[in-house]
C-alpha cells in the first residue's frame, strides 16, 4: 500500500520529540509538508534539523507557539493558514496522588491536553470541509479507557479527547473529512529507560529489561514490550491518507493489547 500525502500540508502539535516527532517524520516521508510545533524557537529549530537529517528534501515548517493559549493557537494559524492534516499530539503528564491534584492542575491538564486540540480543530476544520478533504486526529491513550490511579487528571483529559473526536466527526459527516482518535499504549519515549531501570535489574540489556518490566508491572500488555514511537506514527500516517477515507469517528488502538477489552 503506497500512502501518498504529496501536496498536503500537515500540522503536528508538540512535535519536537517523542511520538510527535515520529509522526512528523512519517508524514514527511509520505510526501506531506509538515508543521513542526513547540513552544521555544531553539527547540523547534533543533527538531527541524534532526527531522531534515531523517527525511532529506522534506518540507518542514517551524511553528513556534504555545498552543495551550489562545494567542499561541492564533500564532500557529497565522504561520499555517490552511492545513489538510491536523494531528493533535500535544500533551502533558505527571504522576500525582488523586487527592492532591489541585484546581490549577486540573485546569492545566484540560487547557493543554484538550482545549488546545479543540481550538485548532475549530480553526482548521471549516476550511477542510469547504475544500471537501481533510484529516483530524487526536492522540489519546490507553489511559482514556483505563484510568490510571496515579494520574487521573491525565486520564480525564484523554477520555475527553475521545468525546471531542467523536463529536467533531459528526460535525464533519458527509464532507470528505475524517476525524479519529488514536489510543497509544506504553511507549518508548524520553525517560522511559531510566524509569524502567529504577524498577528492574540495571544489569539487564534493554530488550530483556523492558520485557521483565512489562511482565511484572504491565501484565495486561499482549505485546510485552514498549511500543516504539514510529509504530504509533504508522497508524497516524495511514489515517492521514486517502486510503483511510472510510475510517471516521473511531478510537483506534495502538496499545499492544494493553486495554483488556474487545472494543475501546
| 128-153 residues labelled b (16+ CB within 10 A) or e (exposed) | bbeeebbbbbbbbbbbbbbebeebbb
Q: Is 197 a catalytic residue?
A: no
Which pLDDT band, with edges at 50, 70 and 90, does 264 fall under? low
Secondary structure class of 123 (helix, strand, coil) = helix
Which pLDDT band, with edges at 50, 70 and 90, does 55 fall under? very high
Q: Which one of 109, 124, 154, 258 is the catalytic residue? A: 154
Averaged confidence pLDDT in the chain: 96
pLDDT, tens digit, for every residue of 228-247? Answer: 999 999 999 999 999 999 99
The domains located in the chain, with CATH, are 9-187+228-253 (3.40.50.720), 191-226 (no CATH)
Could you tell me the CA-to-CA distances from 10 to 16, 25, 93 in Å, in that order? 15, 11, 25
Could you tell me the CA-to-CA distances from 151 to 92, 95, 243 in Å, in that order? 11, 5, 36
- Give the integer Cα–Cα distance in Å for 96 and 216: 22
Contact indicator for 22, 54 with CB cutoff of 8 Å? no
End-to-end CA distance of the chain: 27
Given a cut of 80, whether residue 83 has pLDDT beyond it is yes
Contact indicator for 200, 213 with CB cutoff of 8 Å? yes
Average pLDDT over residues 19-35: 98
- Quote the pLDDT of residue 263: 79
Q: Considering Cα of 167, then 180, then 38, then 159, what sign does the dihedral take? A: positive
pLDDT, tens digit, for every residue of 184-225? Answer: 999 998 888 988 999 999 999 999 999 999 999 889 999 999
Average pLDDT over residues 153-180: 98
Average pLDDT over residues 118-139: 98
- Quote the pLDDT of residue 1: 78
Average pLDDT over residues 48-71: 98
pTM of the full structure = 0.96
Amino acid at each position: 500500500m503506497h500512502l501518498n500525502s504529496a501536496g498536503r500540508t500537515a500540522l503536528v502539535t508538540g512535535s519536537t520529540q517523542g511520538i510527535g516527532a515520529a509522526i512528523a517524520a512519517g508524514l514527511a516521508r509520505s510526501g506531506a509538508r509538515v508543521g513542526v510545533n513547540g513552544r521555544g524557537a531553539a527547540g523547534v529549530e533543533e527538531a527541524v534539523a534532526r527531522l531534515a537529517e531523517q527525511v532529506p528534501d522534506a518540507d518542514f515548517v517551524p511553528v513556534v507557539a504555545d498552543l495551550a493559549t489562545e494567542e499561541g493557537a492564533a500564532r500557529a494559524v497565522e504561520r499555517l493558514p490552511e492545513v489538510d492534516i491536523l494531528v493533535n499530539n500535544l500533551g502533558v503528564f505527571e504522576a500525582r496522588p488523586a487527592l492532591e491534584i489541585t484546581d490549577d492542575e486540573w485546569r492545566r491538564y484540560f487547557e493543554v491536553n484538550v482545549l488546545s486540540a479543540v481550538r485548532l480543530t475549530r480553526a482548521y476544520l471549516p476550511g477542510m470541509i469547504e475544500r471537501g478533504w481533510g484529516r483530524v486526529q487526536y492522540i489519546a491513550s490507553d489511559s482514556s479507557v483505563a484510568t490510571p490511579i496515579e494520574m487521573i487528571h491525565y486520564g480525564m483529559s484523554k477520555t475527553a479527547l475521545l468525546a471531542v473526536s467523536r463529536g467533531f466527526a459528526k460535525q464533519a459527516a458527509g464532507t470528505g473529512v475524517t476525524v479519529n482518535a488514536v489510543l497509544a499504549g506504553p511507549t518508548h519515549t524520553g525517560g522511559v529507560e531510566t524509569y524502567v531501570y529504577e524498577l528492574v535489574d540495571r544489569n539487564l540489556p534493554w530488550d530483556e529489561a523492558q520485557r521483565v518490566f512489562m511482565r511484572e508491572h504491565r501484565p495486561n500488555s499482549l505485546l510485552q514490550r514498549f511500543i516504539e514511537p514510529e509504530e504509533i506514527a504508522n497508524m497516524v500516517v495511514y489515517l492521514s491518507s486517502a486510503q483511510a477515507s472510510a475510517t471516521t469517528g473511531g478510537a483506534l488502538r495502538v496499545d499492544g493489547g494493553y486495554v483488556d477489552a474487545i472494543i475501546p
